[in-house]
Amino acid sequence: MALNGAEHEWLRARAVLREHRFHSDVPLIGPLIAWARERWNSIATKWYVRPLIQQQSEFNQAVVDRLTDMEMRLQQHEQLIRQVADQENYLLQQDEQLVGRIAELESRLLRQHELLAKMTADLQSRLHDHGAWLIAQDREQSELVHDLAELRLCLVRWRQAYPALSQQPAADRMIADPESTLEAQDAQDELT
């Protein structure tokens, strides 16, 4: 419980003990009664009580000073606690934002990973299909080369069997079948 300014002043005012002033409400002789009590107190207890009052006042003043110091420290601690609480709230908000951002990034990464896996599978499928197409093209080319070799062989045999036709001028043969004439010339060039 924090002390306010008025409470501090009240404590300070009551920290110092004062000697009691005697007075009497009795009519006419009241001042005389008060004076007699004052004299009796002065003779009987004043010299004994004054050091005790001084000692108690010093103690009270030390307690008030200590309470004031503790109150200031308590206020400083409360301020530090509020600052720490504010920082903790800020860090919690930052943490929540980071957790949200991490979840968002993980989600994006997962989507990209799935897309990459799909693209990889698609590329592998295309590569497989392309490989199969290349193999088919290679087979077809091999078959064509083989067929061409057989045709050349047949042409060579045909020329050997019919030498008179091979003597026909090249221009006449080109007109009749230009492709076969060129192929025949290539085959004859290979043989020679």
Cα separation, 79 vs 84, in Å, equals: 9
> Taking the mean position of all CA atoms in its chain, how far away is CA 162?
90
Taking only the tens place, the pLDDT of each residue in 167-184 is 655 555 555 555 665 666
Cα separation, 61 vs 69, in Å, equals: 12
Question: What proportion of the chain, given as a percentage, has pLDDT over 70?
Answer: 79
Domain regions of the chain by residue span: 140-191
Taking only the tens place, the pLDDT of each residue in 88-110 is 999 999 999 999 999 999 999 99
Tokens of 125: 């499928």
> Taking the mean position of all CA atoms in its chain, how far away is CA 49?
73
Residues with Cβ within 8 Å of 41's Cβ and at least 6 positions away in sequence, in order, are 20, 22
pTM of the model: 0.43
Longest dimension (CA), the chain: 183
Cα separation, 57 vs 17, in Å, equals: 6
Taking only the tens place, the pLDDT of each residue in 43-67 is 767 777 777 878 888 888 888 889 8
The CA angle 187-189-192, to the nearest 5 degrees, is 110
Contact 34, 25 (CB under 8 A): no
